Amino acid sequence: MNALVRPLESLGRATLGAFAGVGYAAALLWESLYFAAFGWRIGQPLRLRAVIEQMRQIGVDALAIVALLALTIGVMLGIQFIAALSEFGAQSQVVVAVAKSVTREFGALITAILVAGRSGSALAARIGSMNVSQEVDALATMGIEPVRYLAAPALIAMLIMLPVLTVLADAVAIVGAALYSSPALNVTPTAYILQTLSLLTPGDVWQGIAKSAVFAVLITLIGVSTGFSVSGGAEGVGRATTRAVVLSICWIIVVDMVFSFFLNR
Amino acid sequence: MNATVPLIEVEQLEAWYGRRRILNGVDFTVNAGEIRVIMGGSGSGKSTLLRHLLGLHKPRSGWVRLLGVDIARAGERQMLDVRRQIGVSFQGGALLTSLSVGDNVALPLREHTNLDEATIRIMSRLKLEVVNLGGFQDLMPAQLSGGMIKRAALARAIAMDPKLLFFDEPSAGLDPVVSAELDELILRLRDALRMTIVVVTHELESAFKIADTITVLDQGDILMTGTVDAVRQCDNERIQDLLNRRPREIQVDADAYLKRLTEEAA
């Protein structure tokens, strides 16, 4: 009997836990947006300084690494597309293939994964350790809503910076592809880039930007909610950090697939 | 506010962690101007009581009224109003590690007042002077010793000149001299700033030194509330155990013991 009940019981617990997690994240999203919009009315204003500080940590500090990775991805895509398309003698299609796949897919995806690793984990670790050392309680008793003080600035900053980073990644990746592919295509890099610009539609770029906004919400909510639910000291903080990164990246990839499906029908 | 209305009123407060009951219908009143010490051994429920008093937990049943406001049913505005009038010094200090000591103390002022930066700086330095940490405002919390962290936390707690100050385990983890200094500081605060102070502690010496009245908590029940002398002379066995550091005599129930050993799942 026990052998039958146990797995069912743990399945039930896990399901309930997952639903509770999603519900908690939704409540966090609502509260963060509420404080951002109406916080000043109830004495809980969102501080511009906190948002700017978060924007620096999430966005500006990530510029170099995002650019470097995007450049690498661009070169890699150039290599692969030239190799694959030259089998059909269609090298010239490399330009459009790179342009569309970068703006619609890779720019947003790579940036989001990188930011999840950098800032999602940092959010979880920071809030988690604050939770463990009672700093979150201290904020609450001082009349400073922890969600307003810790979550809302991160959410707003992420919503601004992730799309910005994505556009940057798009541009750099295309430059990377241009640098590699233009000799193979017998054009100058400038000509390659000009051709890319003429082939791209605003819709392509918007697709990436729309995705990145959704990723921004996912990364922040997962980071913040795992941080707030930390218990069990330093080990708990470590576990939360890992969990935040793994969960964010899983969600990013799944949501990306779903978006791609619906946006390309 | 009318001086005869108690600052803290707790009625029939029950608290549970899962299926374990921590507080069994606690009644508790603190009047303006007194220093109340909540005393009890580990696991007596004193920390849980404190968390309910601070509004960090919602009571399963019963009422907690701070400054006349029922905090479980108060609106956000009302709650914020109450929180501006209370100060809390946590056991580990709970200073924000990303801010300097001065910024920690200035935080409540920056968040809740429209004072200009120069005034806030002067006020936060004044509070640091009160706790004998003048000149330390630029250090980070990680650079402070245990006693300094507690004093800095106290400075932050009194930044808004609260009516009501909560102090969790002021002497935990401190050497006797530093903890005696903290006791002096608490007494001075009450006399100088007319605060009502609630201290949670298990340190007898410090409790007897600072308390006007003591509430003794044991396994979720209030054993007694009274003046220092009344507690000293009380003939309740558990209170005397606590006062004389006698170990509890634990009665072993053979059946329950066997059941615990052999049970598969809790």
DSSP-based three-state secondary structure for B113: coil
Find how far residue A76's CA is from the centre of its chain. Answer: 21
Tell if the CB–CB gap between B91 and A134 is shorter than 8 Å. Answer: yes
Please tell me the distance in Å from A119's CA to the nearest CA on chain B: 16
Task: Kindly compute the dihedral angle of the four CA atoms of residues A142, A146, A148, A151, in this order, to the nearest 10 degrees.
Answer: 160
Contacts of B74 in chain A (CB under 8 A): none
Give dist(CA B96, CA B41) in Å, integer: 29
Residues B179 and B142 grouped into a single domain: no
Distances in whole angstroms, Cα of residue B81 to Cα of each of B58, B78, B116, B225: 18, 5, 21, 29
Q: Nearest-CA residue of chain A relative to B80?
A: A143
pLDDT tens per residue, range A177-192: 999 999 989 999 999 9
φ and ψ at B261, to 5 degrees? -70, -35
Q: Nearest-CA residue of chain B relative to A144?
A: B111
- Whether residue B151 is contained in a domain is answered as yes
Residues B48 and B30 grouped into a single domain: yes
The pLDDT, as a whole number, for residue A1 is 61
- Whether residue B1 is contained in a domain is answered as no
Contacts of B76 in chain A (CB under 8 A): 42, 44
φ and ψ at B20, to 5 degrees? -95, 130
Give dist(CA B71, CA B185) in Å, integer: 29
Mean pLDDT of chain A: 93
- Whether residue B168 is contained in a domain is answered as yes
Contacts of A143 in chain B (CB under 8 A): 79-80, 83-84, 108, 111-112
Return the closest-CA partner of residue B214 out of B89, B49, B44, B28: B28
pLDDT tens per residue, range B112-134: 999 999 999 999 999 999 888 98
Q: Which residues have a Cβ under 8 Å from the Cβ of B223 and sit 6 or more positions away?
A: B216, B217, B236, B238, B239
Tell if the CB–CB gap between A141 and B88 is shorter than 8 Å. Answer: yes
Residues B177 and B250 grouped into a single domain: yes
pLDDT tens per residue, range A21-35: 999 999 999 999 999
Q: Which residue range is the domain that position B37 belongs to?
A: 8-85+162-262
Task: Give the confidence band of B1 by pLDDT, cuts at 50, 70, 90.
Answer: very low
Give dist(CA A162, CA A224) in Å, integer: 16
Total-model pTM: 0.88
Q: Nearest-CA residue of chain B relative to A138?
A: B94
**Domains of chain A, residue spans:** 27-263
Handedness of CA A105, A108, A111, A112 (dihedral sign): negative
Residues B167 and B152 grouped into a single domain: no
Tell if the CB–CB gap between A144 and B107 is shorter than 8 Å. Answer: yes
Return the closest-CA partner of residue B71 out of B55, B87, B48: B55
The first and second tokens of residue A13, run together, are: 């617990």
Whether residue B213 contacts residue B32, with contact meaning beta carbons closer than 8 Å, is answered with no
Best A41, A142, A147, A150 member to test B by mutation, with max B CBs in 10 Å, is A142
Q: Nearest-CA residue of chain A relative to B162?
A: A142
The first and second tokens of residue B197, run together, are: 């102070």
Mean pLDDT of chain B: 88
Residues B20 and B75 grouped into a single domain: yes
pLDDT tens per residue, range A87-134: 888 888 899 999 999 999 999 999 999 999 999 999 999 999 999 999
Size of interface A-B (CB pairs under 8 A): 62
Whether residue B9 contacts residue B29, with contact meaning beta carbons closer than 8 Å, is answered with yes
Q: Which of B51, B77, B90 comes nearest A138 by C-beta?
A: B90
